[in-house]
Chain A
Amino acid sequence: MIRFTKSARVLAAVAATGLMLSACGSSDSGGGSGSDGGSSDGSASSALCGKNLAFMGALTGDAGALGQNMVGGIELALQQYNDKNPDCQVNLKKFDSQGSPDTAPGLATQIVNDDSIFGLIGPGFSGESLATGKTFFEAGLPSISPSATNVTITQQGWTTWHRVIGNDDAQGKADAAYLTGDGGATKVFVIDDGQDYSKGLAGTVKDALGDALADSDQISVGQTDMSAAVTKVKASGADAVFYGGYYTEAGLLAKALRQGGFTGLFMSGDGSEDPNFVKVAGADAAEGAVLSAPAGPPPADFGASGLYATQSYDATNIFLAALDDGASTPEEINTFIGSYTGDGVSGPIAFDENGDIKESKIYAYFVKDGKLDVDNPQAIS
């Protein structure tokens, strides 16, 4: 029913002004100065100069803010590159999937049919990655995702698909170890929002917890009434809650849990590691919450902000490094990415044969004194 209504509204929007408005919403963002991550000496003259990188992810819709963070990181890297290489300009084409696996395949076809695009930064989310991976692989278009962490994506044999972020398996195991170790929990209640990313992460946590798992439940994206979940958590006698999902629902859940009298530990993953988590939950309810992420804090002078901005910046710089290296075809770029080793602002980067990042450290961030303390995370893997 909800699905039907949604698609009916999407259809109607084509005839309505909404579309025009969202179109102008996805122009300029990000920019500004920042740390020097460019790898160019100003002498690039690749055949790919003047061509485009593509970004596919959510720019509008519920998760639009995350995509805007990514574009901020990408545009920062491109701006630094273009400033240094006046005779080799690389531009960005943005494709707004709204994070939906239903919308993404159409955009993927558009992207692979566009000859001016030599690489993709994205897809943003795990669901859309699984829905489009085959298209990009068959077209031979190399891609680096800054944020899609579902474990199964890199098990499909898509040799053009890479990610600069640790997958959910590594994070989930580290989270479970933290919950029962430093977190001191004996019974953990696990909740997710049913999306590919969230189910993957929550599933790994559940498996790794073993006997310490009290019970589990699922909420849905956009849900604001958490009273049923809170009742279940309290009835289970759990002393900790792990949530797999994004910061809006995580914040609402943390708030409802505290107001419902739950006093145990609240932990969530990288989807919730955002200052907005504290805003939504309120400073009191968020206090003491632990949010893990497969990335260290960005450098102090980094010129883009928000979750996944650093990873997007790094992914862009890998493509630009391929350009400087003289790569001129998608195959050459893909080979370059496969053998790339370097230090990005999000950490050391190198890929294994599946396209997963080789070394990924998981950090736990804490909410302290009413703020998400992004500068002092604890390494938990």
Chain B
Amino acid sequence: MDLGALFGSFDSFLSFTIGGLVFGAIYALIALGYTMVYGVLQLINFAHSEVFMYGTFAVAWVFVFLHGTGSATWDLKQAAPTLLVALVAAMAMSAAIALLLERVAYRPLIKKNAPKLIILISAIGASFALSEAMGLRDRFAGWFGVDNKLANYVTPAKARDVYTNPVTIEPHGLFDIGGYTVTDVDLTIIVAALAMMIVLDQLVRRTRFGRGIRSVAQDPESAALMGVNATRVVQITFLIGGLAAGVAATLYMMKIGATKQSAGFLLGVKAFTAAVMGGIGNLRGALLGGLTLGVMENWGAAVFGNEWRDVVSFVLLVLILLVRPSGILGESLGKARA
């Protein structure tokens, strides 16, 4: 097949592919949160998109705090120290939201042995509450009388409006693949996402915590009999998902630079799709699914037009599930070998 004819030119093909990999890496990191919770609880954590969204705000807030609101353009090297602070803040914020979610929307229901559907609805409700709370942050600040002091953080224009990082991170070309210039920002995103995935994968496969997670995923009752604290394992699972979402949020803000209270929704749907595509409950599946989805979206956009990108990716999802109902890699978190 002549790729050049299909995509306009071979250079365009490379450009579509690498652009897709960059976003796919972000999908993969968010997909991780869905897949971890599913692996342990067999539940879709619909509020995970909000965990990510709070992370993006943490990044923007750090930049506003350290830099002020004036618009500026920095290259990656200049922004790196601030980005590292933002990364820590975003991971802390996302992890805190994930833990809060587990404590408020999950644990009470799990303790009461509520049906899965009820927990699912509780998660969807929590997602709305979190998203709207961010959209109303100016009112909350107003209640405590700090809305003027915090004006730069709560009301850039109006709280529901798009909130931007005042610092635009300007990418610089590093090297060419064919006719496509790979930039430092793109490379950082892909490498950081891969590194994060490898660390987590090893964590689950090799550590004591990981063994606990896998045992609860396999058989919660036996695990409890063997002295594994299931509540604690669930907590750690949410924590890890939150940390990954925090990393994703930082990378996303590096590339996009703008967020709003509804920013998590579309990405959440995409990441969830990526998780299912790769095999939900499977960490490596999340990575593969994310990258596949990112690339397929861009290829679909290239060949059929941008308005078809979602059609192409979801048809692909259906096809994959028809052939392999449990996703590309299929195996669950519990069955992962040490």
Contact = CB atoms under 8 A, between A and B. Distances in A.
Interface stretch (A49-57, A60-68, A200-208, A342-350): A60-68
A375 interface: no
A139 interface: no
A21 B8 contact: no
Contact of B307 (A194, A231, A252): A194
Contacts of B19: 225, 227-228, 230-231
Interface in A342-365: none
A229 interface: yes
A123 to B, nearest CB: 19
B128 A17 contact: yes
A222 interface: yes
Given A1-B314, A24-B139, A227-B20, A282 B71 contact: yes
Given A282-B71, A282-B73, A284-B170, A16 B157 contact: no
B221 interface: no
A225 B23 contact: yes
Interface string B295-327: 001100110011101100010000000000000
A283 B73 contact: yes
Contact of A276 (B72, B161, B305, B314): B161
A231 B132 contact: no
Contacts of A93: none
A220 B73 CA distance: 27
Contacts of A1: 269, 273, 310, 314
A5 B262 contact: no
A276 B162 contact: yes
Residue in A2, A16, A69 with the greatest tally of chain B CB atoms within 10 Å: A16
Interface string B249-289: 00010001110101101110100010000000000000000
Interface residues of B, number: 59
A65 B157 contact: yes
A228 B121 contact: no
Contacts of A284: 73, 168, 170
A224 interface: yes
A235 B298 contact: no
B332 interface: no
A248 B163 CA distance: 10
A2 B168 contact: no
B186 to A, nearest CB: 9
B139 A25 contact: yes
A134 interface: no
B164 A13 contact: no
A280 B302 contact: no
A276 B158 CA distance: 10
A22 B131 CA distance: 10
A228 B302 CA distance: 7
A298 B73 CA distance: 31
Contacts of B16: 227-228, 231
Residue in B128, B170, B305 with the greatest tally of chain A CB atoms within 10 Å: B128
Interface string B122-148: 001111110111011001000000000
B207 interface: no
A12 B12 CA distance: 43
Contacts of A16: 121, 124-126, 128-129
A299 interface: no
A18 interface: yes
A285 interface: yes
Contacts of A282: 71, 73, 168, 257
Contacts of A17: 125, 128-129
Nearest to A22: B132
Nearest to A221: B266
Nearest to B301: A228
A19 B128 contact: yes
B171 interface: yes
Contacts of B262: 61-62, 222
Contact of A232 (B121, B252, B302): B302
Interface in A253-300: 255, 259, 275-276, 278-280, 282-285
B43 to A, nearest CB: 14
Contacts of B121: 12, 15-16
Nearest to A223: B266
A248 B302 CA distance: 23
Contacts of A280: 162, 164, 257-258
A201 B157 CA distance: 26
Given A2-B269, A15-B121, A218-B305, A25 B132 contact: yes
B330 interface: no
Contacts of A19: 128
A370 interface: yes
8 contacts: A9-B124, A13-B125, A21-B132, A220-B307, A231-B12, A232-B8, A259-B171, A279-B71
5 pairs of A and B residues whose beta carbons are closest in the complex: A18-B128, A16-B125, A227-B19, A282-B168, A228-B301
